Amino acid sequence: MTDTSKIDIRGVTKNYGDVRAVNEVDLVIEGGSYCCMIGPSGCGKTTLLRMIAGHETPSAGQILIGAEDMAHARTGNRGTALMFQNYALFPHLSLTDNVAFSLKVKGQPTAERREKAREMLDRVQLLHLADRVPSELSGGQQQRVALARALITNPRVLLLDEPLSALDEFLRLRMRVELKRLQNELGITFVHVTHTQPEAIALADQVVVMDHGTVEQAASPREIYDRPFSPYIARFMGGQNVLEARVTALNGEVGEATGANGVVYDVHDTAGLEMEQTIRLSIRRDKIAMKSADRPDRNAASGTVMNTEYQGTFVKVSLRTETGEEFIVYQDDAEFFANPSHVGETVNAHWDGALNHLLRGQNTSSGNPLEE
Amino acid sequence: MSASNAKRGVSFYLLAAFFTLFVVFLYGPMLIIFVLSFQGETGGLTFPMRGTSLHWFSDLFSSSRYGDLAGGFRRSTGLGLMSMTITAVCCLFAGLAFRSRFWGSGTLFYLCIVSLVVPGILLGLGISQFFQILGFRLQWWLSGLGAHLSWTLPFGLLIMFAVLNRYDNAWDEAARDAGATPRQILGWVTVPILFPGLIAVALFGFTLSYDELPRSILTVGGKNTLPIEISNMTTNVTTPALYAIGTVTSFVSFAVIALAFGLIAFIQKRRARA
């Protein structure tokens, strides 16, 4: 099963006139895995998904599903099923006939295909509505019908185009669990396009972060979140502060870089670095200690508190550093309330230098992160 | 409601009066003709009514004084049905084609629309000359049909655009994703979803052709359509039979429209059944 549902994308490019929507993408999605493609709108993630489904033809490159080249495989005949963003349920057909549609295309007799469709509707707990038409259903119910319609062909690969974006917050979280459970149960490959960072982190075995038609990083969610490749990913995925510094020491086990404000940062991963080179480091917002008595001059930041936001399990403290940059600390709630920071106060923060992560990628676009 | 009553200013009453005039002007003449068509046997073209009767309706069908009304009705209905079919089919495909902005689509669209603007009588003259140059005799079902299509096709296309505005192309893609061929997509998804809209297009195709006069006069050849026959009657006939034919043709038009709306309502009710 897993080998036949592996997706291999080789040097795929898609041009629309002068616009290059997807730019020489190489990507392997393991069979039976849950892959989330994420990026700001216009980054090419949906175009890539539609090329896997066969709704768009690559301008160059190859797409293989289960080692078969899909160049000449017709849409609907390549073992993929696409779930559309607004579900695209047929408004003139009952739920049964919506779900049975692809079986009708295959020429199955009416009674037989309706029976199968009803079984599938039962599986998504909608059998009692089998004779309704889509307009009589709620958003969450429509989504489950769309899912049933996509799965009735037993696809090797299920492609989902922003499947949760039309749902309210409560339903979104519930359907998220449902999707993950379904993927575990079926053991097929899910490719899920989203622009919501927590969704990708929560669902995926593999997160593919895209920007400007290229894959910026493809890795496990933990890797992406903890060890982002570039400043863009660090900012887009959230939870990180990005610091700019100049390399000032390379001899010795741990290198050093100095920020504009004179603070020295440890650099552990010095391979390939040169003296005086400008680098960027990321440090997780939740690994920072607040309220040092003295102003430390190593692996530290100080600034004026601009805002504090209670988030339940932690407090988000926003500082403006002397160089005018934003620096955010996620402080444990108990710790914060034991010794709260107030807006306008100047505070010092420091952290363990071993946590400094070197961002090797050069992409610094902000990618309009939706999280804040 | 009473709160807004208190606030009604002069503009409300002016606009209400204007609207009343509009309605009277719209339906008043029709109502007069409708009433006068039931004039008594001895009555004339104007009020007062001298009793009521169905005499002028039977006169219409039995007397030969009024020209070839039955033939005109047959030809106009036939022409209407042909225009309707061609308009519905062509506008469906043209509308689907215009969904994607192909090269020259803007120019093509304006070319289609121009024949709505050209005066009908001139267009009819052109068409009759054109057919004679090509060596065809003028016939109601050939040159007449062509003239009517120059009117119903662009009109139908405009309505089709409005209909397609509410069509989600993802429906086609969902069908394609299920493996459907272009023909299956058209037959099982596109046409069924668009069907109520297509009825509207067909309806316009029929009624616009059924009562078209300017484009018909010079193009139908020796045998007249109903509007031409009625137009001739207005100059020759001086009896209330003139009103009777007005009532009959209006009734046919209303019946066709009611039938079409009934069909649309029926389909939509079946789709939205609880």
Residue range A324-341, pLDDT digits in tens: 888 999 999 998 998 888
Integer Cα distance of B135 and B131 in angstroms = 6
Select from A78, A96, A101, A113 the residue whose CB has the most chain B CBs within 10 Å, as the one to mutate to test that interface. Answer: A101
Which of B103, B177, B270, B273 has the highest number of chain A CBs within 10 A, making it the mutation to test binding with A?
B177
Mean pLDDT of the residues in chain A = 89
Task: Determine contact, residues B127/B219, Cβ cutoff 8 Å.
Answer: yes
A76, A104, A135 member nearest B177 (Cβ): A76
Asked if residue A6 lies in contact with residue A29, where contact means CB atoms within 8 angstroms, the answer is yes
Say whether pLDDT at B274 is over 50. Answer: no
Tell me the mean pLDDT in the region A77-97.
91
Q: Which residue of A has its CA nearest to B195?
A: A92
Looking at residue B230, its pLDDT comes to: 86
Structure tokens at A70: 């899909």
Whether residue A75 lies within 8 A of chain B, CB to CB, comes out as: yes
Cβ atoms of residues B70 and B138 within 8 Å: no
User: What is the C-alpha to C-alpha distance for residues A184 and A203, in angstroms, rounded to an integer?
Assistant: 11
H or E stretch at A83: strand A80-83
Upper half-sphere CA count for residue B84 (Cβ side, 13 Å): 18
Please, what is the angle between helix A110-123 and helix A139-151, to 10°?
A: 130
Q: What Å distances lie between residue B64 and A213, A267, B233, CA to CA?
A: 79, 108, 12
Strand partners, A39: none
Determine whether the interchain pair B174/A90 forms a contact, defined as Cβ–Cβ distance below 8 Å: yes
Pick the closest to residue B249 from B207, B201, B217 (CA basis). B207
Confidence of residue A371 (pLDDT cuts 50, 70, 90): very low
DSSP run (H or E) holding A346:
strand A346-350
Q: Residue B179: which of A86, A106, A132 has the nearest Cβ? A: A106
Q: Give the percent of chain B with pLDDT over 70.
A: 96
pLDDT of residue A203: 92
Give the mean pLDDT of B14-27: 94
Q: Does A133 touch chain B (CB under 8 A)?
A: yes
Tell me what percent of the residues of chain A surpass a pLDDT of 70: 97
* Distance, CA of A238 to CA of B64 (rounded, Å): 90
Residue A368 has pLDDT above 60, yes or no: no
Pairing assessment for the beta strands A314-321 and A278-284 based on DSSP bridges: unpaired
pLDDT(B58) > 70: yes
CA distance B205 to B197: 13
pLDDT recorded at residue A370 = 43
pLDDT at position A369 is 44
Residue with tokens 């007249």: B224
Average pLDDT on B58-76 reads 81
Residues 6+ apart with CB under 8 A from A122: none
* CATH of region B67-236: 1.10.3720.10
Give the DSSP letter of residue B49: P
What is the mean predicted confidence (pLDDT) over A82-110? 92
Query: Which amino acid appears at position A116 of this protein?
Result: K
Mean pLDDT of B51-57: 83
Sign of the four-CA dihedral A293, A299, A303, A307? negative
Q: Smallest Cβ distance to B179: which of A90, A91, A105?
A: A105
pLDDT at position A29: 93
| pLDDT grade for A366, boundaries at 50, 70 and 90 | low
Determine the length of chain B.
274
Largest CA distance in chain A: 80
pLDDT tens for B144-188 read 899 999 999 999 999 999 999 999 999 999 999 999 999 999 999
pLDDT reported for residue B56:
84
The residues near A283 (Cβ < 8 Å, ≥ 6 apart) are A240, A241, A243, A351, A355, A356, A357
Task: Convert the pLDDT of each residue in B187-240 to its tens digit.
Answer: 999 999 999 899 989 998 998 999 888 888 888 888 888 889 888 888 887 788
Tokens of A158: 């299920």
Between A98 and B243, residue with greater pLDDT: A98
Closest CA of chain A from B267, distance in Å: 9
pLDDT value at residue B41? 79
B270: nearest Cα among B191, B192, B207: B192
What pLDDT shows up at residue A17? 85
Cross-strand bridge partners of residue A194? A38
Contact A236, A367 (CB under 8 A): yes
Taking 90 as the threshold, does the pLDDT of residue B96 lie above it? yes
Burial class (CB in 10 A: 0-12, 13-18, 19+), B205: buried
pLDDT of residue B191: 93
More confident residue, A363 or B185: B185
Which residues of chain A lie closer than 8 angstroms to B173, CB-CB? Answer: 55, 82, 84, 88
Contact call for A86 and B170, based on CB within 8 A: yes
Residue A295 has pLDDT above 80, yes or no: no
DSSP one-letter code for A247: E
Q: Residues A291, A310: contact at Cβ < 8 Å?
A: no
Which domains are present in chain A?
7-226 (3.40.50.300), 239-359 (2.40.50.140)
Give the whole-angstrom CA distance, residue B78 versus residue B214: 18
Here the ipTM equals 0.82
Domain residue spans of chain B: 2-56, 67-236
